[in-house]
Amino acid sequence: MKPKVLLINCYSDNHRGAKGNPNFIPQSMATVALAGQFHADKVALQLYCEFARGPFENLKSLAWADLLVLTGLNPAFDRMKQITAYARTVNPGIAVAMGGSLARALPLLSQRYFDYVCQGDLEDIGAVIDDVFGPGYRAEQPFPRFDLARWPPWFGFAESSRNCNFRCDFCSMTAEGRRYFSYGADALPMQVEAMGYKACLMVLDQNFYGGGRRQFTEKVGRLEQLYRAKKIGSWSALATADLYADPANLVLAKQSGCTGFFCGIESFSRAQIAAFKKKQNLLLPQEDVIRRSLDAGLMLHYGMVFDTTERTVADIREEIDFIVGNPNLTLPSFLSIAIPMLGSPLFQRRLDQGALLPHLKLRDMDGCSIICQSRDSDAVTADFARKMHRGGLVSRRQLLRHALLFYARHGRKLSPIGMASAATTYWALSFPGLGTNGRDRNLKYSARTYFANTEALGTLYTPQIPMAEKMRDHFAPLILTNDRGELHPSVQADLQPKAVQLTPSTKEKPDLECSYPNWHA
Ligand code: B12
Ligand code: SF4
């Protein structure tokens, strides 16, 4: 009998029966990449993504598996605990491994709930495989299992590097301080060969430009070959604003079939960017970055991050009006309340300032809830967050006017896919509730408070089957702060100040731990 492994990407949805976001771009690659660490012939695998398909409720699969492997973003910690409780109830012998940024941010707490807490990269699962099944069950040539991916048709996701070479104040990459490294240019053709033709290939790196001009040119060269050979219809990637400093980069990208990039613009306020320590965004004014991109025929997607602790709602609304009133700017693809990610310098600063809300729930550090004390009154801040989440910050008339002027000025320069992707930004601002945070799709909006300490827990927090008393804690939300906004005792050992070891960024050197040896060829 083959060992059986269930891999789940957990997501912090509120409600049992939520439908998930199967057509949202981008989707996570994590389970597909993790699956590639197991021997394809000797291990039976099932993959599930809660972001795409809604909360995982299949007790039969939990009873089937010998090993449960969990991944997910920080707000998904409660979901990891809940699924583990179900697994142990229906299948007491199951082994549970978890990993990713949660394992790095909360290693000690995680050990209370999971058998294996993998703080490193994908390759860490190798030791778990050996421990649970014995030798012989690791993949001989680890490689993402694109054949098991259930992504929107026409889209493929790939990676060409890990981690980031920048250190923005709020980001989990900064909290982790891990070294940026590139897989090498051949990684992309290998992944495309394995996944087959895709109309749009999206390279999901933290920073596609993290290896500088030389690596960028090499990777774009490979993508151009794939594009000319009709192995991809187009490509896009996530990259930082320093990419736009050299216009030649944009020419290269455009001629290689690129439709555009996602770039962390975050704010048009220089003061805010400086406060976020996002120095790559100070090289050029944000408006110039967008103008250069559009002039080169490349769409630019970005998110806006609003820090209501530093800025008033009136100031933020002025910024939104400035964007929507300017048809030379693309509209943001998503709006988010600033999240001081666990362990980041901003998290520490907010903690020291006493600015974290009391009884803060990790589940609600999701970009659509208020996490810190705000400059405005609760009523004003909550009204802003509600409009951000439900729509109403920008009128449909303003959006229509922007769309007409934008397409008149830039429509002809963008490719058809670039134009279609520009259209999604109008949709995102009109119906933001249908965007990334689908977590309240089934919850009456009026039930929300928009504060991360007073949001109602959804139905997922009530077990769907009888549970042993010892599992009760698995259904309690993880609370990060006490009633004074100080660290809650349960996370003190993990989150109290430690000298953050910022690893110097290395641009060229491959990481020897990476399990994809051929990619460095
Ligand atoms: C796809 C994506 C999304 C998708 C899907 C998310 C999902 N959960 O399914 C969407 C668009 C929904 C999304 C939303 C958000 N995202 Co997002 N997203 C990504 C993105 C672009 C790719 C993730 C991915 O597939 N990576 C590739 C896989 C292979 O690697 P990985 O997951 O990073 O894991 C590595 C290690 O951690 C480790 N690992 C991970 N899990 C496990 C498990 C085991 C057992 C082991 C051994 C190892 C291991 O192995 C991998 C490589 O070594 C990343 C950026 C990036 N390049 O990673 C951001 C990123 C993950 N998102 C981020 C953020 C901040 C958000 C938002 C908060 C944004 C916002 N303000 O709204 C929301 C959160 C919404 C929520 N409620 O959770 C942050 C970090 C978040 C965090 N740590 O919690 C990232 C890193 C971007 C960034 N630099 O800021 N996101
Ligand atoms: S550039 Fe992006 S991924 Fe890198 S540290 Fe800044 S926010 Fe994080």
Does the pLDDT value for residue 519 go beyond 60?
no
The predicted pLDDT at position 502 comes to 44
How far apart are the C-alpha atoms of 485 and 452, rounded to whole Å?
12
Q: How far is the CA of 479 from the centre of ligand 2 (A)?
A: 26
Evaluate: CB of 345 within 6 angstroms of ligand 2: no
Ligand closest to Cα of 129 equals 1
Evaluate: CB of 368 within 6 angstroms of ligand 1: no
Nearest CA to ligand 2 atom 1: 166
The predicted pLDDT at position 505 comes to 38
Give me the mean pLDDT over the 37-46 stretch.
98
Top-confidence residue, 34 or 15 = 34
Please identify which residue in the block is written with the tokens 């060229």. Answer: 508
298-317 residue pLDDT tens:
999 999 999 999 999 999 99
The predicted pLDDT at position 508 comes to 38
Torsion over CA: 509, 515, 519, 521 (sign): positive
- Three-state secondary-structure class, residue 21: coil
Bridge partners, 304 (sequence order): 266, 335
Residue among 27, 28, 262 whose CB has most ligand 1 atoms within 8 A, to mutate = 28
How far is C-alpha 102 from the chain's CA centre? 13
Residue type, 221: G
Q: How far is the CA of 161 from the centre of ligand 1 (A)?
A: 14
Q: How far is the CA of 170 from the centre of ligand 1 (A)?
A: 15
The predicted pLDDT at position 509 comes to 39
The predicted pLDDT at position 492 comes to 97
Contact 6, 148 (CB under 8 A): no
Which alpha helices (DSSP H) does 135-246 contain, by range? 172-176, 187-195, 212-228
Give me the mean pLDDT over the 66-93 stretch.
98
Nearest residue to 155 (alpha-carbon basis) of 210, 46, 268, 233: 233
Evaluate: CB of 347 within 6 angstroms of ligand 1: no
Q: Which of 266-280, 363-377, 428-442 has the lowest mean pLDDT?
A: 428-442
For residue 186, what pLDDT band results from cuts at 50, 70 and 90?
A: very high
Q: Which of 44-48, 374-378, 387-391 has the lowest mean pLDDT?
A: 387-391
How far apart are the C-alpha atoms of 314 and 335, rounded to whole Å?
16
Residues sharing a CB contact under 8 Å with residue 428, sequence separation 6 or more, in sequence order: 331, 332, 333, 334, 435
Give me the mean pLDDT over the 24-49 stretch.
97
For residue 60, what pLDDT band results from cuts at 50, 70 and 90?
A: very high
Nearest CA to ligand 1 atom 16: 73
For the chain, the average pLDDT equals 92
Q: How far is the CA of 29 from the centre of ligand 1 (A)?
A: 9
The predicted pLDDT at position 12 comes to 82
The predicted pLDDT at position 117 comes to 98
The predicted pLDDT at position 514 comes to 61
Evaluate: CB of 166 within 6 angstroms of ligand 2: yes
Tokens of 479: 């609370």
Contacts 24+ apart (CB under 8 A), 107-115: 107/494, 108/493, 108/494, 109/478, 109/490, 109/491, 109/493, 109/494, 113/80, 113/81, 113/84, 113/474, 114/70, 114/80, 114/84
Judge if the upstream peptide bond of residue 26 is cis by omega within 30 degrees of 0: yes
462-513 residue pLDDT tens:
999 999 999 999 999 999 999 999 999 999 999 987 644 444 333 333 444 5
How far is C-alpha 290 from the chain's CA centre? 22
Indicate the length of the chain as a whole number: 521
The predicted pLDDT at position 86 comes to 98
For residue 185, what pLDDT band results from cuts at 50, 70 and 90?
A: confident
Q: Which of 20-24, 80-84, 130-134, 497-501 has the lowest mean pLDDT?
A: 497-501
Q: Are strands 161-162 and 116-118 parallel, antiparallel or unpaired?
A: unpaired
Give me the mean pLDDT over the 128-137 stretch.
98
Evaluate: CB of 440 within 6 angstroms of ligand 1: no
Please state the pTM of the whole predicted model: 0.95
Q: How far is the CA of 18 from the centre of ligand 2 (A)?
A: 30
Residue type, 213: R
Residue 250: φ, ψ to 5°? -75, -35
Residues sharing a CB contact under 8 Å with residue 82, sequence separation 6 or more, in sequence order: 460, 461, 463, 474, 475
For residue 520, what pLDDT band results from cuts at 50, 70 and 90?
A: very low
347-363 residue pLDDT tens:
999 999 999 999 999 99
**Using N-to-C axis directions, what is the helix angle for 313-324 and 378-390, rounded to 10°?**
30
How far apart are the C-alpha atoms of 239 and 244, rounded to whole Å?
10
The predicted pLDDT at position 446 comes to 57
CA dihedral 39, 40, 42, 43 (to 10 degrees): 90
| Segment (H or E) for 101 | helix 101-105
Ligand closest to Cα of 243 equals 2
Supply the DSSP string of 228-245, one letter for each residue: HTTSBS-EEEE--GGGGG
The predicted pLDDT at position 410 comes to 92
The predicted pLDDT at position 447 comes to 76
Nearest CA to ligand 2 atom 3: 206
| Segment (H or E) for 299 | strand 299-301
Tokens of 45: 């695998």
Evaluate: CB of 210 within 6 angstroms of ligand 2: no
- The most distant pair of C-alpha atoms in the chain lies apart, rounded to whole Å, by 63
Report, in this order, helix, strand and coil percent for the chain, each rounded to 5. 45, 15, 45
Percent of the chain with pLDDT over 70: 93
- Three-state secondary-structure class, residue 130: helix
Nearest residue to 213 (alpha-carbon basis) of 251, 250, 243: 243
Top-confidence residue, 452 or 509 = 452
403-426 residue pLDDT tens:
999 999 998 899 888 889 999 999
Ligand closest to Cα of 303 equals 1
User: How wide is the angle at C-alpha 507 spanned by C-alphas 502 and 510, nearest 5°?
Assistant: 100
Atom of ligand 2 minimally distant from the CA of 165: 4
Percent of the chain with pLDDT over 90: 83
Q: Which of 254-263, 326-335, 435-444 has the lowest mean pLDDT?
A: 435-444
Residue among 7, 73, 267 whose CB has most ligand 1 atoms within 8 A, to mutate = 73
Alpha carbons within 13 angstroms on the beta-carbon side of residue 267 total: 25
Evaluate: CB of 7 within 6 angstroms of ligand 1: no
Evaluate: CB of 26 within 6 angstroms of ligand 1: yes
Atom of ligand 1 minimally distant from the CA of 123: 47
The predicted pLDDT at position 233 comes to 97
Torsion over CA: 370, 374, 379, 383 (sign): negative
Tokens of 359: 């009884």
Domains and CATH numbers, the chain: 4-144 (3.40.50.280), 153-343+392-430 (3.20.20.70)
For residue 440, what pLDDT band results from cuts at 50, 70 and 90?
A: low
Q: How far is the CA of 101 from the centre of ligand 1 (A)?
A: 8
Nearest CA to ligand 2 atom 8: 171
Q: How far is the CA of 320 from the centre of ligand 2 (A)?
A: 22
Q: Which of 95-109, 143-157, 486-500 has the lowest mean pLDDT?
A: 486-500
Q: Are strands 181-182 and 161-162 parallel, antiparallel or unpaired?
A: antiparallel
Evaluate: CB of 366 within 6 angstroms of ligand 1: yes
Tokens of 488: 């809650």
How far apart are the C-alpha atoms of 139 and 120, rounded to whole Å?
18
Q: How far is the CA of 72 from the centre of ligand 1 (A)?
A: 7
